[in-house]
Structures are given as structure tokens and as C-alpha cells.
Amino acid sequence: MDWPDLSMGKYGFYVWGSYLFSLLLFVWEILSLKQRKRALKQQQQQQRSSPVSPKVFTGSANETTS
Amino acid sequence: MFYPVAGKMIPWFAIPAAILFAAGMYVGFFIAPTDFQQGDAYRIIFIHVPAAWMGMFLYVLMAIYAGVGWAFNARLASMMASALAVTGAMFTLVSLVTGALWGKPTWGTYWVWDARMTSTLILMFLYIGFISLQASIDDTRRADRAGAILALVGVINVPIIYFSVQWWNTLHQGATIRLIGKPTIAAPMLTAMLIMLAACWFYSVAVVLIRLRCIILEREQNAARFAEVNA
């Protein structure tokens, strides 16, 4: 197996920059989703342990209304 | 019922996505030859082209789901549209940035206001608009409806992006792969590009399913809290 020229001719910055930017975005998306999932689980646990007081509630999702 | 099924489906898309990304990079960097005109700079296409295609494809899919959600009051379809938006925006951003990084060595500039690039930038703004609009409206049903209108109006931009290189004189090169007719690209280059496209598709399904599960949970939690407060 021949390794490619890592300098990509004289275009290393552009080629590796493209892949690095894409990789960073993919990693960011996966990590932010993990964080969102974790926060939701924590929220779920809190909700189970202590019911929400009407004064504290500020959310407005009206899934129950038409 | 959908929630656990989606959870079980995620690894079936995430693992092939990782394998296909590795395979695509291998074919793109080890097997595909150096281009005689652009040198190694052309290797950006292995991420640029699949990202651009995914950006357009996910927008059309998002508009369809948003439209179905709006027309039939199907909440899962509306949630799917919301889940698709961020990934679509991300792929569009990847296509814009990698396109700029390809443009500099080949055209001598990162950006020109040519039809293909400008219409792709508009696609990015449409995604941002959809996400912002949904985030700015607290009532989820109103947010879904407003998002659906924007998504459906904006879908007209997708054929404009696709045909822009034929309709206008642009700096951007024409299509190298056509639905009808032979591609004007060497087989190993095409193979690498198609493998990377498959990788992007599998990745998209996996992350969209994860996000969809989060949205379902969030809306259920909000509904439960609302019911609790009004009890």
C-alpha cells in the first residue's frame, strides 16, 4: 500500500482543512446530541422525583390542546 | 411505539456509516489517482459533492415531512422535519466551506456570487430560518405550521441549485454525474464519491433518529408538565 503524499502537492491546507472542518462538524453534532439526551434524562428523573409547581412552569408546549 | 424501534435502528445505520467513511477515505486517498489538471486539490470532492447532495436531499425530505405534518396534522412527520433540519444545515455548511476551500486553489478565490454558490447559500439561510422560526414559537403546533410553510416555499430553491450551472453562466463546473448518460469522471473517483455519499446517508439516518427521539421525549415531557400544571 502506497501512502499518499500528505502535503497533497501544495494543496494540503485546502484538502486537510476541508476534511478537518467536516470532521469537527460531525463530532460537534454527535456530542451535542449526546448532551441533549443526557439533559433530557436528568430532567425526566427530576420530574419523577419532584412534581413541577405551577409557578415554576414556564414551558408552553400545548400538545394537549387543539 | 416508534420510539423504541428508532432506538434499535440507530446502530444499524451508525456502524455502516463509520465503515463506509473509512472505506471512502481509503478509496479516495489511496486508490483514486491524482487529477492531471487540479492535482490533489480535487480530493475535496469526496466530501464536498456528497455534502452538497445531502444538503439538497435532506431539504426536500424535510419539506415533504413538514408538508405531511401540516396537511394531515401528523405530529411525528412534523417532528421528523425538525430533526432533519440541523443535519441538512450542517451538510450545506460543509458543502459551502469545502467548496470555498476548493475554489481558492482552482479558481483563485474562496467565493464568487455565482448562481450555484449563491443559491446554496440561500439554502443555508432557509435551513437557519426554519430552525430559528421553530425555536422562536413556543406553541409546537404553530411552530410546526410556520416551519412547514417556510420549508414548502423554500423547496423551489432546490431545482434552482441543481440546474443553476445549466441555466446561467457560472464559474462552478457543470454536473459530472448525470441521471441519464455516462459520468465524466474516472471510475475510482466516482467509486470514492459514491461510497462517501452512502456514508453521509447512513450517518444522516443515524443522527436524525437520535434527534427525533430527543424531540419526542422533549414534547412528551412538556405535555406532561402542562397536564400536571393544569390538573
Q: In Å, how far are B81, B123, B124, B146, B221 from B208, measured between CA atoms? A: 9, 19, 18, 21, 20
For residue B227, report the phi and psi dihedrals to the nearest 5 degrees: -65, -40
Determine the length of chain A: 66
**Contact residues on chain A for B223, CB-CB shorter than 8 A:** 61, 63-64
In angstroms, how far is CA B33 from the centroid of its own chain? 28
* Chain A partners within 8 Å of B30 (Cβ): 1-4
CA distance B165 to B77: 33
pTM: 0.88
Span B132-161, average pLDDT: 95
B73 interfacial to chain A (CB closer than 8 Å): no
Residue A15: name the closest of B87, B39, B203 by CA: B39
For residue B181, is it left (φ>0), alpha (ψ between -120 and 50) or beta? left
- Buried-exposed string B182-198: b where 16+ CB fall within 10 A, e elsewhere: eeebeeebbbbbbbbbb
Question: Which among B47, B51, B223 has the least Cβ separation from residue A63?
Answer: B223
Given a cut of 50, whether residue B15 has pLDDT beyond it is yes
Contact B225 A47 (CB under 8 A): yes
Report the alpha-carbon distance of residue B107 to residue B114 in Å, rounded. 12
Cβ–Cβ of A64/B217 closer than 8 Å?
Answer: no
Q: Do residues B70 and B30 make contact, with C-beta atoms less than 8 angstroms apart?
A: no
Q: Which residues of A touch B210 (CB under 8 A)?
A: 33, 37
φ and ψ at residue B39, rounded to 5 degrees: 65, -145
Q: How far apart are CA B68 and CA B20, in angstroms?
A: 32
What ipTM describes this predicted complex? 0.89
Note whether A58 contacts B: Cβ–Cβ < 8 A.
no
What mean pLDDT comes out for the span B202-210?
97
Residue B165: all three cell numbers together: 450551472
Please tell me the least confidently modeled range out of A23-37, B6-20, B94-108, B163-177: B163-177
Percent of chain B exceeding pLDDT 70 equals: 94
Tally the C-alpha atoms within 13 A of residue B160's C-alpha that lie toward its C-beta: 14
- What is the distance in angstroms between the CA of the first residue and the CA of the last residue of chain A? 63
Nearest residue, CB atoms, B90 vs list A10, A25, A54:
A25
Residue of A nearest to B90 (CA): A25
**Interface probe with A: pick from B76, B209, B222, most Cβ of A within 10 Å:** B222
Reported as a single tens digit per residue, the pLDDT across B32-77 is 988 888 888 999 999 999 999 999 999 999 999 999 999 999 999 9
What average pLDDT does chain A have? Answer: 78
Interface of B with A in 24-63 (CB under 8 A): 29-30, 34, 39-41, 43-44, 47-48, 51
Kindly write down the DSSP assignment for every residue of B136-154, as one continuous string: H-SSHHHHHHHHHHHHHHH
CA B38 vs. chain centroid, Å, equals 26
| A17: chain B residues, CB-CB within 8 Å | 101
Q: Nearest-CA neighbor of A43 among B113, B55, B222, B118? A: B222
CB contacts of A27 in chain B (<8 Å) are none
> B223 at the A interface (CB within 8 A)?
yes
Q: CB within 8 A of A59, min separation 6: which ones?
A: B138, B222, B225, B226
- DSSP-derived letter for residue B40 is G
Give the residue carrying C-alpha cell 465503515: B19
